[in-house]
Amino acid sequence: MDTALNIKDITKKYKDFTLGGIDIEIPMGFSSALIGANGAGKTTLIDIICGVTANDAGTMEYFGKYTDNDRSELRNMIGYCSSANYFPMDWNLKKVAEVMDVAFDNFDRKKFSELCDKFKLGDPSGKKQKKLMKMSDGNRMRTYLAAVLARDTSLLVLDEPASSLDPLARDLLCDMFRDYLAEKDGERTVIFSTHNIADMEFVTDHAIFMAGGKVIEKGFVEDLKEKYILVHGDASVSEKAVPYLLSSTSNKTSFEGIALAEDAEKLAALDTAIEQPTLQQLSIGILRKAEQDYEEK
Amino acid sequence: MKIYQNSNEPIYKQIASQLREQILTGKLKSGDPLPSIRMLAQDLKISVITTMKAYEELSAEGLVTASKGKGYYVNAKDEKMIAEQHMCQLEEHLTNAIYSARIAGLDYNEVCETLRALWDIED
Amino acid sequence: MKKNDSLPFWDAVKVYYGTSLVRIFICMFLLPVSAVLLFVTSIFLMSGGKEEALSVSSIGVILFFCSAYMFFIMDVRVNSSNLPGWKFLKTVKGGFDTYAKAAVTITAVSVLVVLLYSLIAALLYIADIVSLFNTPGACFALWISEMVLIAVIVFLRLIENTTVRLLAYSAVLFQVLLLYLLLLHTVKSMSAAVWIISAAASMLMIAVSSKVSISYYKKKIWEN
């Protein structure tokens, strides 16, 4: 399997936050999700990947041959999009098309019009144009996405693309990711960040969990689903079960948590229900553990 | 292809078993290409890694082969292998039947009688 | 194997401002001029058509003031780290090179606009139609003050906080306005030589300050 992006020991220090020693290999041809709470460092990492912010230490290797010194080649190959304030507020669709055409080599105006139509934004060449500041958050985000998807890029890096979208638009976004990956079968890669993986579960191939500026777990989704199990049981059994669990929640009648699959037999013996976790359930378990570890410090 | 997203059975297993059946019954002939993992993911609205895992399972069983840069192809029909596959399926079904019989409290003879009755119907 | 990744300066301006260079130039030229025309017309009407009511120095002050704010407003867009669009601008073709080109072009346009005012004033004076500035010295005062202002605005880009920058700008504007008024009343006659030398010196001053501020900006703000 080829690597689209090899991140080695990337570090960035701020006054009250440190993104520390990030090591990740983003597989080429797949969709990788950065999952974590607000403040986990996802946006900082994405900004460093796209050249928006400079890292203090570490190296990055893109597509097996470029480094972060080759920004001039990389700018056209990487499609970056943030979730808020991506374009100036006084722009409309027409202006977005005009500027994108000038700012990048691979912007396709026709594709942009098609995407605007698909996202129900209107016609970029039409007479009545709405300014971005007058659009809803959801429509603004759709505009940003239409602009970045209309470019012929090799790596799509999106910071929280789904957060301001309604379920229907999220579903459309998932379809757009799959279309993007299928078009140049195996040569294109998607990285996106989210703090709620539920709606994006069926478009996530590789997951990277972040908390407190560090990567706490990563891997292909199918492998992670076999590495961990979801455990439920009666409150009466919780005391015996909890030591095996990564993290758990409990109330008067029952408990639920995530554990390693290798402990499945021991847990099954305690009369608990064991099943394969969804990515959402896995995220909750892993992030909860990180939060508990942080509170213990 | 039909998959149940909310079932207990992992999606990749569902895909693998449906494709396995198509291959074993001859609907997919040897040399036929399977849809690319990404196109199948598009059609089924699932992640690429899931389709890839399904194909990898079939590849491990010897039913399909990955051709670099071209995708997956159905392997040449090996009579012995097909028979083995069918035997595997039979054993799986029979194991389930035995489990149900035990829960229902049926003994070996009662199960055989039921088997004989059903076999005669099929004929 | 470095690909040619830079944009021409008119495209750089298009990316940072969203409009064409021509439109920006026309805008920067016309807005102060229309302010002056509005002022002149209203004074004319209020005084009942008396030419003498028009004080030439007040025309100059209005022109100076409006053009100064125009230059400031147009410059703010270039250093847009507080405004929406900042992250997008960091990832466009050319990167910092595009920013530098946009910044330098806006500075150059500001200088050209002042040059155009001076030329028009000179032509009107020579053709004896109207003397916008009662002495050649007045035109000189406008030129020098505007050039000093442009040279300073270029450094104000380094202040990231927009509110602080606005306050700093107002302080600078006030100082330069005093300079303008001082020059207006002291320089009555000019020799061509002094004109040419000071014109050249002021352009050089702007070129130097522009270069210094851009490289400082790159180190302190862009490569953050």
CB burial readout A222-240, b (16+ within 10 A) else e: bebbeebbbbebeeebbee
Which residues, in sequence order, are bridge partners of residue A32?
A191, A206
pLDDT at C130: 63
**Rounded average pLDDT over A251-273:** 88
- Indicate the range of A73-77, A233-237, B15-19, B37-41 predicted with least confidence: A233-237
B with C: touching (≥3 Cβ pairs within 8 Å): no
Q: Which two tokens stand for residue A165?
A: 């979208």
Q: Name, in order, each residue with C-beta under 8 angstroms of B115's C-beta and a sequence gap of 6 or more.
A: none
Taking CB atoms within 8 Å and a gap of at least 24, the contacts of A64-73 are A64/A2, A64/A3, A71/C95, A72/C2, A72/C3, A72/C5, A72/C94, A72/C95, A73/C1, A73/C2, A73/C3, A73/C5
Q: Could you tell me which residues come within 8 angstroms of residue A220 by beta carbon, excluding any fewer than 6 positions away? A: A27, A205, A206, A207, B49
Which pTM was predicted? 0.86
Q: Is A275 on the interface with B (CB under 8 A)?
A: yes
CA–CA separation, A70 vs A63, rounded Å?
12
Q: Supply the pLDDT for residue C135.
A: 64
| Residue A103 near chain C (CB below 8 Å) | yes
CA distance A206 to chain B (A): 8
* Contacting residues for C59 by C-beta, under 8 A, at least 6 apart: C36, C39, C40, C132
User: Which candidate, A12, A116, A1, places its Cα nearest to that of A54?
Assistant: A12
Give the Cα separation of B42 and B17 in Å (integer).
Answer: 19
| Structure tokens given for B84 | 């083995």
In this structure, are residues A46 and A191 in contact, taking their beta carbons and an 8 Å threshold? Answer: yes
C-alpha dist (Å) from residue A257 to A68, A218, A221, A274, B23: 41, 19, 18, 10, 40
The sheet with strand A254-260 has its strands ordered as: A245-250, A254-260, A228-234, A273-275
Which of B36, B47, B49 shows the shortest C-beta gap to A185?
B36
> DSSP string of A9-47?
EEEEE-SS-EEEEEEEEEETTSEEEEEE-TTSSHHHHHH
Q: Is residue C50 over pLDDT 70?
A: no
Indicate whether C52 pLDDT > 70: no
Q: In sequence order, what are the residues at sequence separation of 6 or more whose Cβ sits closer than 8 angstroms to the Cβ of residue A53?
A: A12, A44, A47, C224
Q: What is the pLDDT of residue C1?
A: 42
Q: What is the pLDDT of residues A169-213, one digit of tens each?
A: 999 999 999 999 999 888 999 999 998 898 899 999 999 999 999
Inter-chain contacts counted by CB atoms under 8 A, chains A and C: 75
**Whole-number pLDDT of residue C181:** 85
Contacting residues of A for C219, CB less than 8 Å apart = none
Rounded Cα distance, A80 and A241, in Å: 44
Task: Test B47 with A202 for CB contact under 8 angstroms.
Answer: yes
User: What are B's interface residues with A at a Cβ cutoff of 8 A?
Assistant: 5, 8, 10, 12, 36, 38-39, 41-42, 45-50, 53
Cβ A206–B50 below 8 Å, yes or no?
A: no
Residues from chain B that touch A182, judged by Cβ atoms under 8 A, are 36, 38-39, 41-42
Give how far A197 is from chain B: nearest CA, Å.
13
C88 touches chain A (CB under 8 A): yes
Range with lowest mean pLDDT among A44-53, A145-154, A206-215, C113-122: C113-122
**3-state SS, residue A191:** strand
Q: Of all helices (H) and strands (E), which one includes residue A234?
A: strand A228-234
Q: pLDDT for C79-124, tens place per residue?
A: 667 778 889 999 999 999 999 999 999 999 999 999 888 888 777 7
A267, A231 Cβ separation under 8 angstroms: yes
Question: Which residue from C150, C153, C110 is spatially nearest to C13, judged by alpha carbons?
Answer: C110
pLDDT at B90 over 90: no
Mean local confidence (pLDDT), C208-217 = 91
Beta partners for A220? A206
Instruction: Please give the average per-residue pLDDT across A67-76, as a whole number.
Output: 90
pLDDT value of residue C189: 67
> Average of pLDDT values for C19-39?
90
**Top-confidence residue, C159 or C133:** C159
Mean pLDDT over B30-59 rounds to: 92
pLDDT, tens digit (0-9, with 9 covering 90-100), for A154-175: 999 999 999 999 999 999 999 9
Across the range B109-114, mean pLDDT stands at 89
Asked whether the ipTM of the predicted complex exceeds the cut of 0.90, the reply is no
Q: Are A208 and A220 in contact (CB under 8 A)?
A: no
Contact A204, B47 (CB under 8 A): yes
Residue A219 pLDDT: 95
| Interchain contact C7–A (C-beta under 8 A) | yes
pLDDT at A244 over 50: yes
Instruction: Kindly report the three-state secondary structure assignment for every residue of C23-63.
Output: HHHHHHHHHHHHHHHHHHHHHHHHCCCCHHHCCHHHHHHHH
Distance (Å, rounded) from C-alpha C59 to C-alpha A47?
Answer: 49
pLDDT in tens, B2-14: 888 877 788 999 9
| Confidence (pLDDT) at A11 | 94
Token pair 């202006």: residue = A95
Nearest to A205 among B39, B42, B47 (CB): B47
pLDDT tens digit sequence for A5-26: 999 999 999 989 999 889 999 9
